Amino acid sequence: MTDIHSNIEMSSKEMLAYRKKIEDDNPGYTVTYLDINVQGEDVELTATLSAVAFQRIRRITGYLVGDLGRFNNAKRKEVDDRVKHTSV
């Protein structure tokens, strides 16, 4: 959730466009706070960014998953029975 403030009245669509611009300029980060200060034709944006949470995705028994939480007992058993390959 982004906390967005502006010194003038503007639509939420316009505010979200400013947030999207900052996020597009800073890949891997999301805006948590945005202050929009409009002075005539100039717009000053002050933002607080936080890193986007990273989730590891693996291919397990033919499925792309982040964890085994949604696997039923048969799928979990299939994972347990897999041969684990390790480098020496």
For 27-72, how does the pLDDT look when each residue is reduced to its tens digit (9 = 90+)? 889 999 999 999 999 999 999 999 988 778 888 777 888 877 888 8
The answer to whether residue 14 is domain-embedded is yes
**Is 87 inside any structural domain?**
no
In a shared domain, residues 9 and 47: yes
Q: Is the pTM of this model over 0.85?
A: no
Tell me which residue range forms the domain holding 31.
3-51
Is 4 within 8 Å of 22 (Cβ atoms)? no
Residue, of 78 and 43, whose pLDDT is higher: 43
**According to the model, what pLDDT value does residue 45 have?**
94
Supply the pLDDT for residue 85.
79
Run of H or E including 38: strand 29-39
Same domain, 43 and 62: no
Q: Is the pLDDT of residue 13 over 90?
A: yes
Is residue 57 within 8 Å of residue 66, measured between CB atoms? yes
In a domain, 42, yes or no: yes
User: What pLDDT is stored for residue 6 in this prediction?
Assistant: 92
Residues 44 and 77 in one domain: no
Task: Verify that 39 and 11 share a domain, yes or no.
Answer: yes
pLDDT at 88 over 70: no
| Strand partners for 6 | 36
